[in-house]
A and B are shown apart, each in its own frame.
Chain A
């Protein structure tokens, strides 16, 4: 992300060319504004750098510590299950939220009657305003017990898959439940961003497709999706960022434990939840260990973003921006 601040010299030339216009331009205001936007841009970089420096400085003791002082014998052994747990929970969330989110966005932008569409849009936006602790409480108190029969069914019929090995957890507090709750939480991010982008598809493009004899769905495939591809990826990545870092909902829903391949048994843990659970009682090396875990989460998020940028820039030539 780069912030460029050009100072257009439009106002001054306009003043020179037509003398009867009142002299409203103010070069000082121009300078001040460009200064404000420049410092805002720099501030973001400074904050980002400060976060990175804080994380690295606080995490350093972990890497020079003796093995027996660490929780799991080595930092890698400690980090590994958390990485897997975090990625699994986020993957489940994305698997649920991406198709549903895009579908809902498309319905609102291109299928629903106009008045109806607005109402649905508002409701989806409201979903984003619900605090995560409420989602967590709902997941733990309502969804988890209700979903147990489904897990039993999965264990009975799909138990031959390593991810659905029984016996299923009888509290329902599993990584799959956490993933589902996360999916619902990130749904509004994907939906509202995609909806905004879908609406902006050029009318001329849509009419070109319809004029060739495309059905509505074909028109969507030919014009809306290609136009919105970058935006869809961005919205999914933004949602993934939220899912990776979501703390409260996972902490409440998941009965955490060691790494477990079965998604319908208790076990597994995510970075954010692990840090939140242990932070209040941590000091010294344990504190550094948790902050180092935070550093790893930070790096994972960065990598995800870089990959997303690479995906979107691959299509630049065909983006229609030329």
Chain B
């Protein structure tokens, strides 16, 4: 279920503009990896290349390799649709499908590509996914109500349930708590800790305490100035990044001297 990600010499372009330059990184399975760095440093852009979501933006392209247990995501003939069903994503703001019930939201990914699922299997999957997202007890009596009626934190956990229902190998989270209050944030962070038992989790966050709390390894991205490409400055176990970073820029950032 959980796969290793190897990134080799990755450059990301928007048209002619080099957005992220020369990233090399290995992300271990069953771990939580946090990306931190100032705004505009390319960490979200880089995250989105891990499931080819950057291709949604016209003109975005990459050079280099991203490998999932050795299979290059950018090899010829690889369907981005297939990549995204293996590498799930949770977004900055909760985005349940507003026209679907809670139950339908969880099943949305499973129902894709005309896959049929028996009703009893669907019930089991809804329950296991919602339990996996720590949401089952809160919503089990109102599965047929619209997902958009939940609170922000519940909606975000519903989105996580929706992602894990398709049984991905990797879950990417792009600032999943940036629109949530502290209590909901705590619930999602607890969930991230549980998710790493089964999945490779990669999370982008602006909150350094959050990175310190949830991640095993942390990658610090930085940018030399506007118009310059973002770079991976330092990638190490989280303890090391926060306690004795090797790079001056990392130390300045985590100690709050800039950013």
Contact = CB atoms under 8 A, between A and B. Distances in A.
A318 B96 CA distance: 11
Given A207-B91, A208-B91, A222-B108, A320 B148 contact: yes
Interface in A95-126: 114
Interface stretch (B35-43, B50-58, B64-72, B121-129): B50-58
Interface string A214-235: 1100100011001101000000
B219 interface: no
A2 interface: no
A215 B82 CA distance: 9
B111 to A, nearest CB: 9
B97 A223 contact: yes
A198 to B, nearest CB: 15
Interface in B51-102: 51, 53, 56, 58, 81-82, 84-86, 88-89, 91-93, 95-101
Contact of B166 (A212, A319, A322): A212
Counting contact residues on chain A (CB < 8 A from B), the size range is 20 to 34
A212 B91 contact: no
A78 B96 CA distance: 54
A211 B89 contact: yes
B152 interface: no
A205 B112 contact: no
Given A212-B84, A218-B112, A318 B99 contact: yes
Interface string A222-251: 110011010000000000000000000000
Given A207-B91, A208-B91, A318-B146, A213 B97 contact: no
A21 interface: no
Contacts of B237: none
A205 B58 CA distance: 18
B99 A319 contact: yes
Decide if the interface of chain B is mainly helix, strand, loop or mixed: mixed
Nearest to B146: A318
A315 interface: yes
B245 to A, nearest CB: 32
A70 interface: no
Interface in B130-181: 146, 148-149, 159, 162-163, 166
A319 B100 CA distance: 9
Which of A208, A209, A213, A227: most chain B CB closer than 10 A?
A213
Contacts of B89: 207, 211
Contact of B97 (A222, A229, A317, A322): A222
Interface string A185-198: 00000000000000
A210 interface: yes
Contacts of B101: 318
A73 B66 CA distance: 82
B88 A212 contact: yes
B99 A226 contact: yes
B113 interface: yes
Nearest to B168: A213
B149 A322 contact: yes
Contacts of A310: none
A204 interface: yes
Contacts of A320: 98-99, 148
A211 B84 contact: yes
B55 to A, nearest CB: 9
B90 to A, nearest CB: 8
A206 B146 CA distance: 18
B88 A211 contact: yes
B56 A210 contact: yes
Nearest to B80: A210
A206 B98 CA distance: 12
Nearest to B89: A211
Contacts of B159: 208
Which of B51, B91, B149: most chain A CB closer than 10 A?
B91
Contact of A214 (B81, B86, B99): B81
A202 to B, nearest CB: 8
Contact of A213 (B58, B92, B99, B112): B112
11 contacts: A207-B91, A211-B88, A213-B85, A213-B113, A213-B166, A215-B112, A215-B113, A222-B97, A226-B97, A320-B148, A322-B149
Interface of B: 51, 53, 56, 58, 81-82, 84-86, 88-89, 91-93, 95-101, 108-109, 112-113, 146, 148-149, 159, 162-163, 166
The 7 closest A-B pairs by CB, nearest first: A320-B98, A213-B85, A212-B109, A226-B99, A211-B89, A204-B95, A208-B95
Interface of A: 114, 202, 204-215, 218, 222-223, 226-227, 229, 315, 317-320, 322
Given A211-B89, A212-B88, 14 more contacts: A204-B92, A205-B97, A206-B56, A207-B53, A207-B91, A211-B84, A211-B91, A212-B162, A223-B97, A227-B98, A229-B99, A318-B148, A319-B99, A320-B148
